[in-house]
A and B are shown apart, each in its own frame.
Chain A
Amino acid sequence: MKHLLCSGAVICAFGLSASQAVADLPFDIGYGDFNWDSYTAFADQYDLSGQIVTVTGPWTGADNDLVTQVLSYFEEATGATVNYSGSESFENDIVISARANSAPNVAVFPQPGLASDLAGQGLVAPLDDATADWLTENYAAGDSWVDLATFANESGEDQLFGFFYKVDLKSLVWYSPEQFDEAGYDIPQTMEELKELTDLIVEDGATPWCIGLDSGAAKGWPATDWVEDMMLRTQPPEVYDQWVSNEIPFDDPRVVAAIEEFGYFARNDDYVDGDASSIVTIDFRDSAGGLFTLPPKCYMHRQASFIPTFFPDGTEMGVDVDFFYFPSYAEQDLGNPVLGAGTMWSITNDSEGARALIEYLKTPIAHETWMALSGFLTPHKGVNTELYSNDTNRALGDVLLNATTFRFDGSDLMPGEIGSGAFWKAMIDYSSGSDAATVAGEVQQRWNSIQ
């Protein structure tokens, strides 16, 4: 009845959930090594009782539970109600709802490219300069985070449109320490050593790599990460930036060379589990499982820091599985580049609560609560890293700190049609046998058509 009688069911839905008890807080306020002072200070400053903040994002399933738990501290501090809903097709849903004027207060964008599109159409509210200053000061490599979230608005002026919160690392190779130990393999320190190890594993009669590029409608994206990593390992970061912004064409010989570097691993039947051509039909979530079969289907799996979510139940981090940094070439002298990605929180429907939520993300406690749960990395300099839920996450944090170069996932920065369309398709074509220069040329063509 409620739904029918209220004029907008959105409001009714809020009415319903407001009556529910506040979600359980995983950590008691005031206990442990958390920065509770920042929480109390924030709670004293804001009283949003009765207000509703709607948030949509790409996290579903287990991640949905995590973000809800973290946001429950914001609810507790302000009295507001946060309604988070995750969607598998977030990219489509947010565009539909933003255009139909029913956007949530805050949208969590996994790809800045998409946010940039919407910002250009005037569908995202800019953040204030104080936030930009705060990021510069308090985030490691703060300027780059500000740059990443700065886009042209409707009238072409550059403004800050998002706040990065939750970072993923991409330049990682996952392996089973036990299997490495039994076979007598050492962690490679350079790309040259990694290639030697790959050959050594083949000589031992085993398969070095598990690669899977299938991902439902997003087929091909895992390969774009490979290419971006290879780009950073064969070219200076400036070239990477030019590639991402299309100042050099997509079919530039340097880009084609990076694609072929990926092909060195992926297009060799001996190097990958199954046929080289079959990697396009293996789901990326399944491919990680190859590390854990007996005998192992493969010894190494290059994937971002979120992949442990997809490991078999009961896999123990640091015991059953561990990671090493996807190494760089010793001979190239490009330092230790790190590829990463992150989710950007933007205001798509301005309200007092939405602004307060962005302010809350500046407090250390907002970061520490998720760190202590799992699967969360942050560039926030003011947090207590002791709170990371396990050593592996702490080590991941170290990779982030030791990076001489940090670059954001290029495909996420490219326009949506390229970074989450043409580039994916090109990688599928290349992995199933097409020529690198040809597929790169096709991406450039599509890019030309949208400029």
Chain B
Amino acid sequence: MDNNAGTKSSLGWAVNISVVVLVLLWLIPTVGLLVSSFRDRDQISASGWWQAPFSVDLTFRGRASTSGMEQQNGLYVIEGNIFADAEVADRFPDGEGTVIAFGTRGAAPSQYTAGETVELRRGGTLTVNTDGSFRAENAEEFSGQGPRIYILAETPPDLTLNNYATVLTGKNELERKNAIEQGQTFRQLLFADEGLFINFVNTFTVTIPATIIPILIAAFAAYALAWMEFPGRGLLIAAVVGLLVVPLQLALVPLLNLHNQVGIGQSFVGIWLAHTGFGLPLAIYLLRNYMVGLPRDIIESAKVDGATDFQVFMKIVLPLSFPALASFAIFQFLWTWNDLLVAKVFLPSSAETKVMTVKIADDLLGSRGGDWDILATAAFVSIAVPLIVFFTMQRYLVRGLLAGSVK
């Protein structure tokens, strides 16, 4: 018996470890996106997201500005601290940092170690110290704006909620600043036309009926196909399976035409109907397969007791099918939530009726293909609600599954 217990616990370990490995594999890509959504564009391209919590060595450029030029002992001298330079300062808010190396040309920004004194390209010498203080000397006056200084500096991690503010209000940092200066609050920006809030509400307006209506219709149909005798049943089941694979794109133009003709046009009613039609085959298929597995004797004894099919369905089948209904509800919800194509075709394209996916695709991703920061954030904002729904529904799901274990 000892031996048996030993294998059991080592097996337990193996199970735990393999689940940990699987979960990590599944999680890592998303974590990458999550971390990136808190970083700005420059950081994303400068270092991998896995380095986000650490200081990284980044190059910056500043200038020994001629506005600070003085004459000392017949030499023209510019002194200052590079971390106070406007072009560098926004990543070093307290004006302090550590210079590792510096350079005088953009092509070689880290040519010299900090503390060295080097020749400048247009004459004179330059010294940059580890603390960022620099001194440029020349026998002649420095021309123009003054010589460029390139530095390689240890840069502290900088995680920001800026991207989220941009995505939620539809305005970038500068636009937000201007709007707030004009007296608007962040709240107002969020609820304004360009903000995401209205799209958020629209998405709910689309998804909730588009989830519940097909489930209701499909549940009745699935019951009929599973437990009622009538001619043509086999044919209908076959048709449902066949319709599962119809590509949506085929249906777009004829259906929008139809909607226009009957006067629905592009509207919420139209998109509910469309989602219902497109989601039904899978709903019927999954629910019928579940209902067929319900115990025959319960249903038949109820019928013998004189219950009509409607009563059997409402009182017995529906409660027993709860886990299947709940899991399909989640899938249909996720599908309609993430849908872009149907929403674009069946809803009018004005700002008041856009759903979130359309808003994100058109207003945010549009001109920002290279902006990983905004893209990552937008993706996360759109994931958030499905995740919350899943985590709250999941308890029901598991409980429902246990309750439904009647096979």
Tell whether A and B belong to one assembly.
Answer: yes
Q: Name A residues whose Cβ lies closer than 8 Å to a Cβ of B.
A: 3-4, 6-10, 12-14, 16-17, 20, 56, 60-64, 83, 85-89, 93, 96-97, 99-102, 176, 178-179, 182-183, 204, 206, 215-216, 283-286, 289, 293-296, 309-310, 312-313
Query: Whose C-beta in chain A lies nearest to the C-beta of B267?
Result: A9
Which B residues lie within 8 Å of A101 (CB)? Answer: 257, 260
Given A8-B265, A96-B256, A182-B148, output 18 extra A-B contacts at Cβ < 8 Å: A7-B263, A7-B264, A8-B264, A9-B267, A13-B348, A16-B352, A60-B367, A64-B363, A101-B257, A101-B260, A204-B107, A283-B370, A286-B45, A294-B59, A294-B106, A295-B59, A295-B108, A310-B367
Query: Whose C-beta in chain B lies nearest to the C-beta of A296?
Result: B106
B124 within 8 Å of A (CB atoms) = no
The answer to whether B370 touches A61, judged by C-beta atoms less than 8 angstroms apart, is no
Which A residues lie within 8 Å of B369 (CB)? Answer: 215-216, 283-286, 310
Q: How far apart are the CA atoms of A25 and B140 in the complex, in Å? A: 51
Query: Whose C-beta in chain A lies nearest to the C-beta of B40?
Result: A313
The answer to whether B350 touches A295, judged by C-beta atoms less than 8 angstroms apart, is no
The answer to whether A285 touches B370, judged by C-beta atoms less than 8 angstroms apart, is yes
Residue from B150, B264, B369 with most neighbouring chain A CB atoms (10 Å):
B369
**Whole-angstrom distance between the Cβ of A12 and the nearest chain B Cβ:** 8
Complex A-B, nearest 10 residue pairs according to Cβ-Cβ distance, in ascending order = A60-B366, A9-B267, A285-B370, A8-B265, A100-B256, A61-B367, A294-B59, A85-B349, A286-B370, A13-B350
Q: How far apart are the CA atoms of A296 and B59 in the complex, in Å? A: 11
The answer to whether A89 touches B344, judged by C-beta atoms less than 8 angstroms apart, is yes
B253 within 8 Å of A (CB atoms) = yes
The answer to whether B370 touches A9, judged by C-beta atoms less than 8 angstroms apart, is no
The answer to whether A294 touches B60, judged by C-beta atoms less than 8 angstroms apart, is yes
Residue from A61, A289, A294, A296 with most neighbouring chain B CB atoms (10 Å):
A294
The answer to whether B59 touches A100, judged by C-beta atoms less than 8 angstroms apart, is no
Which B residues lie within 8 Å of A183 (CB)? Answer: 105, 107
Q: How far apart are the CA atoms of A56 and B362 in the complex, in Å? A: 12
B318 within 8 Å of A (CB atoms) = no
**Whole-angstrom distance between the Cβ of A198 and the nearest chain B Cβ:** 16
The answer to whether B260 touches A178, judged by C-beta atoms less than 8 angstroms apart, is no
- Residues of B within 8 A of A (CB-CB), count: 49
Near A by CB (< 8 A), chain B positions 366-390 give 366-371
What 0/1 pattern do residues 331 to 359 of B give for CB contact below 8 A with A?
00000000000001101111111000000
B395 within 8 Å of A (CB atoms) = no
Query: Whose C-beta in chain B lies nearest to the C-beta of A98?
Result: B253
Q: How far apart are the CA atoms of A216 and B368 in the complex, in Å? A: 11
A-B contact pairs, 20 of them (CB 8 A): A6-B267, A8-B260, A9-B267, A9-B269, A9-B348, A9-B353, A60-B367, A64-B363, A85-B362, A87-B349, A88-B361, A88-B366, A93-B349, A96-B345, A100-B260, A101-B260, A102-B256, A102-B260, A296-B106, A312-B41
B275 within 8 Å of A (CB atoms) = no
The answer to whether A83 touches B350, judged by C-beta atoms less than 8 angstroms apart, is yes
Q: How far apart are the CA atoms of A377 and B323 in the complex, in Å? A: 61
Q: Name B residues whose Cβ lies closer than 8 Å to a Cβ of A.
A: 41-42, 45, 59-61, 105-109, 121, 148, 150, 172, 193, 252-253, 256-257, 260, 263-270, 344-345, 347-353, 361-371
Q: A60-B362, A215-B369 are in contact. Are A206 and B266 (CB under 8 A)?
A: no
Q: Is the interface of B mostly helix, strand, loop or mixed?
A: mixed
Q: How far apart are the CA atoms of A285 and B41 in the complex, in Å? A: 13
Q: A60-B363, A102-B260 are in contact. Are A178 and B148 (CB under 8 A)?
A: yes
Query: Whose C-beta in chain B lies nearest to the C-beta of A212?
Result: B370
The answer to whether A294 touches B150, judged by C-beta atoms less than 8 angstroms apart, is yes
Query: Whose C-beta in chain A lies nearest to the C-beta of B270?
Result: A9
The answer to whether A99 touches B257, judged by C-beta atoms less than 8 angstroms apart, is yes
**Whole-angstrom distance between the Cβ of A149 and the nearest chain B Cβ:** 25
Which B residues lie within 8 Å of A9 (CB)? Answer: 265-270, 347-348, 353
The answer to whether B350 touches A85, judged by C-beta atoms less than 8 angstroms apart, is yes
Q: How far apart are the CA atoms of A440 and B107 in the complex, in Å? A: 39
Which B residues lie within 8 Å of A4 (CB)? Answer: 267-269
**Whole-angstrom distance between the Cβ of A109 and the nearest chain B Cβ:** 16
**Whole-angstrom distance between the Cβ of A290 and the nearest chain B Cβ:** 10
**Whole-angstrom distance between the Cβ of A6 and the nearest chain B Cβ:** 8
The answer to whether A99 touches B363, judged by C-beta atoms less than 8 angstroms apart, is no
Q: How far apart are the CA atoms of A232 and B93 in the complex, in Å? A: 51
Query: Whose C-beta in chain A lies nearest to the C-beta of B61?
Result: A294
Query: Whose C-beta in chain B lies nearest to the C-beta of A310?
Result: B370
Q: How far apart are the CA atoms of A338 and B49 in the complex, in Å? A: 42
The answer to whether A294 touches B109, judged by C-beta atoms less than 8 angstroms apart, is yes
Q: How far apart are the CA atoms of A89 and B364 in the complex, in Å? A: 13
Q: How far apart are the CA atoms of A70 and B358 in the complex, in Å? A: 24
**Whole-angstrom distance between the Cβ of B198 and the nearest chain A Cβ:** 11
**Whole-angstrom distance between the Cβ of A315 and the nearest chain B Cβ:** 12
Q: How far apart are the CA atoms of A21 and B134 in the complex, in Å? A: 54
The answer to whether B362 touches A10, judged by C-beta atoms less than 8 angstroms apart, is no
Q: How far apart are the CA atoms of A413 and B231 in the complex, in Å? A: 57
**Whole-angstrom distance between the Cβ of A19 and the nearest chain B Cβ:** 11
Which A residues lie within 8 Å of B260 (CB)? Answer: 8, 100-102
Q: How far apart are the CA atoms of A427 and B263 in the complex, in Å? A: 45
Q: How far apart are the CA atoms of A9 and B265 in the complex, in Å? A: 6
Query: Whose C-beta in chain A lies nearest to the C-beta of B369?
Result: A285
The answer to whether A17 touches B351, judged by C-beta atoms less than 8 angstroms apart, is yes
**Whole-angstrom distance between the Cβ of A442 and the nearest chain B Cβ:** 25
